[in-house]
Structure 1
Amino acid sequence: MIPPALPGPRRPVTQEDIAREVGVSRTLVSFAFRGAPGVSSETRQAILEAAQRLGYRQNAAAADLARKRPSAVGLYLLDLRNEVYADIFQGIREAAEDARNRLILTVSPSANSLGRSSVDSLIEARVGIVIAATLLDPDADIKELAQIVPVVNVARRVEDVDSVYSDDPAGAEAAVRHLLGLGHTRIAHLTGPPHEGHQGRRQAYERVMADAGLPPFVLTAEDYTQEAAEKAMRPLLAGSDRPTAVFAHNDELAVGAREAAYSLGLTVPDDLSLVGYDNSRISRLHGIDLTSVDLRALDLGRSAGRVALERLADPLAPAVDLKSSPHLVVRGSTAPPHPVRDQRPGRNHQKDRA
């Protein structure tokens, strides 16, 4: 006996199937899905119900081709392990979903990688715009990229390219002045490799220290991760002339510095005050309690999403330059320096402060 033939793969439901089901033309079905005028609310509802009943899945890429204008939003994230990028992503997703735009995500292979190769994959996916959080590429390369596909920079400013960013120099100045106000004089700055467009925090630190008549000390980690920070900080903290405070480029580096301190038997803030940057979720954890500069990552994401949608609607509009003001959130990781730990050569710190 010959067994019955197995059923083959089910044919995808098409707009023609929906048109036959409802008794309308395929063009009217297409108009209904696109939200175009000329379709009554009753007919549109009947079409959508039939589509759901039949199991229709709209091909968004084909819809873009029919409109002759890509509507998908490409999103590039520098480091998915860093929680500030998760907040930025959430804000962008809210904006894109409200407008029913597809969101296509790509992530950098490392926290210190240039982003052009990753962005190229978004271009190959025919996105209409790229939101970049955050490209480490030189300004000239980003401007060249923006000639191929519109770009919205997040947490970085590039002249003549849409940019949504926080005032990094102002945030860094608030952080360093907070430590100076507590009485610290040996304040180090922990950062990652230098990249064009990402030096505002370091430059502000150096300026404020110079204004206070104090020598700056910049320590550069291999990248912007906790592991790199811990590796870079341990030799410094093991020395006899260690700093009493550290201002880190981001919260990830600050937490790495904290781990290095505790591994050497030092405590925060008694032996070392720490200030991070981003005000990410990790800074608010019990036991971490990190003083940090809040750049309002969720709001940056929402604003970047809105700017991207506006750019899709009006490709020829002038470049957007949207700067927000950060603020310092003081928590338990900063305190006045221990009198014995903060003596400059030949001087008593308590007398200096008197």
Structure 2
Amino acid sequence: MRVDDDASASRRDGASKRPRLEDVAARVGVSTASVSLVLRGVPGPSERTRQRVLKAAAELGYQVDRTASLLASRRTRLLGVMVDIHSPFHADLVEHLHTAAEEVGYDLVLSTQTRTRDEHTAVETLLAFRSEALILLGPTASGDALAALDRKAPVIAVGRRIADADLDVVRSADDDGVGQVVDHLVELGHRAITYVDGGKGVIATDRRRGYRAAMRRHGLEAHIGVLRGDNTEAAGERAARQLLDGAELPTAIVAFNDQSAIGVLAALSRAGVAVPGEVSVVGYDDDALSRLSCFNLTTVSQSAREQARHAVVAAVERLDQGRTEPREVVLTPRLVLRGTTAERV
């Protein structure tokens, strides 16, 4: 009976023993250093060696002991990303950030902003997880606060202009993007073009300024109309209802973002107003919802893929290459024509 118990214990111990780095190296016949390079995605080993190591690791069921690796290197190779959970555009950015980070041997830690979880809490969580750099999507904190945070870990602000702060910034030219929208609508014969605002903050200010400047450029000062709003569908619906209650509808409506524009579309549809037959509608961001066939929304692309790539490059330059001078990358937005705009009838 005792022999059987010992044999069972031995089998259990063998079955529960985790494969080690040395086991993978022995299976392939290479050094543990080579195996480590392959599993960390670091250049060096040949493609043939890389494939053999990955195959052996899969066969043995080897999993990288991340905790041990971090303790040994004293680095986490983690980029902390603050994201607004309610923003479809931020979701697009995160997807591209993951791809860009993996290509250079980094991973992401995400911390969300919600209606009950503010920006400060989200950032503190990223620091608690030892994020080496912080990629903040649409931060609202002051330039001074972000500069102080940058002294704890390199900060890359994405999507927002930050004046007089020594920070890395990656953004698109929001005023130019809205200007392109107004230019397009004017070319279609529209004059009564109303803007649904995005509320407070630098991004909203830049887009609102772009609308006003473009309307003046076309000699349409008398038609400038800005309605109170924010970044939600509900705000777009409220603004559209306000217009529907007025004496005369504008022939075109430009919304702060795609979510707001979708709210405008919903309210107009319920009121029986044809889009784009009676009113053209344009959003901003080119998020996943805008591309759905049920909306087919004309909008402005901020090049989420390029913003993500530049943000990761900036982080790697700060962490691995020692760059200390701040850098601002400003991308040119691009008008995306779909089915919610047409010539004025």
- TM-score band (shorter)? 0.7 to 0.9
* 27-36 vs 117-126, greater mean Cα deviation: 27-36
TM-score, scaled to structure 2: 0.81
**Counterpart pick for 2:126 among 108, 122, 125:** 122
8 Å CA contact 1:163, 1:320 repeated in 2: yes
**Counterpart pick for 1:217 among 214, 225, 246:** 225
2:93 maps to amino acid = I
**Counterpart pick for 2:172 among 160, 166, 169:** 166
8 Å CA contact 1:137, 1:195 repeated in 2: no
Determine the C-alpha separation between the residues in 1 that align with 2:340 and 2:34.
63
Determine the C-alpha separation between the residues in 2 that align with 1:44 and 1:269.
55
Shift of the 44–280 alpha-carbon distance from structure 1 to 2, 3 Å rule, reads: closer
Q: Matched residue of 1:104: which SS?
A: strand
Counterpart in the other structure of 2:147: 143
Shift of the 219–48 alpha-carbon distance from structure 1 to 2, 3 Å rule, reads: same
Determine the C-alpha separation between the residues in 2 that align with 1:237 and 1:262.
11
**Counterpart pick for 2:111 among 106, 111, 117:** 106
Q: C-alpha deviations, 1:268-321, integer Å up to 9, x for none?
A: 112211111122333333342322112211222222222222222124432221
Counterpart in the other structure of 1:299: 306
1:185 maps to amino acid = R
**Counterpart pick for 2:160 among 146, 156, 161:** 156
Deviation at 1:205, TM superposition (A): 0.9
Determine the C-alpha separation between the residues in 2 that align with 1:305 and 1:109.
24
Counterpart in the other structure of 1:95: 100
Aligned positions, number:
335
Q: Matched residue of 1:103: which SS?
A: strand
Gaps of 5+ in 1: 339-354
How does 1:197-216 map onto structure 2 within 5 Å? 197-211=203-217, 212=219, 213-216=221-224
- Identity of counterpart residues, as a percentage? 34
1:55 matches 2:61 = yes
1:75 matches 2:89 = no
* 278-287 vs 34-43, greater mean Cα deviation: 34-43
The CA RMSD over aligned residues, in Å, is 3.5
Determine the C-alpha separation between the residues in 1 that align with 2:195 and 2:160.
20
1:275 matches 2:312 = no
Q: C-alpha deviations, 1:139-158, integer Å up to 9, x for none?
A: 22222221211121222233
Counterpart in the other structure of 1:286: 293
2:201 maps to amino acid = H
Q: Matched residue of 2:342: which SS?
A: coil
**Counterpart pick for 1:64 among 62, 66, 70:** 70
Q: Matched residue of 2:202: which SS?
A: coil
Deviation at 1:128, TM superposition (A): 1.0
Determine the C-alpha separation between the residues in 2 that align with 1:294 and 1:38.
38
Gaps of 5+ in 2: none
1:284 maps to amino acid = R
Q: C-alpha deviations, 1:196-252, integer Å up to 9, x for none?
A: 35421111112223442224322222x412233213322322322332211111111
Shift of the 43–143 alpha-carbon distance from structure 1 to 2, 3 Å rule, reads: same
Counterpart in the other structure of 2:272: 265
Counterpart in the other structure of 2:329: 322
8 Å CA contact 2:233, 2:259 repeated in 1: yes
Shift of the 36–134 alpha-carbon distance from structure 1 to 2, 3 Å rule, reads: closer
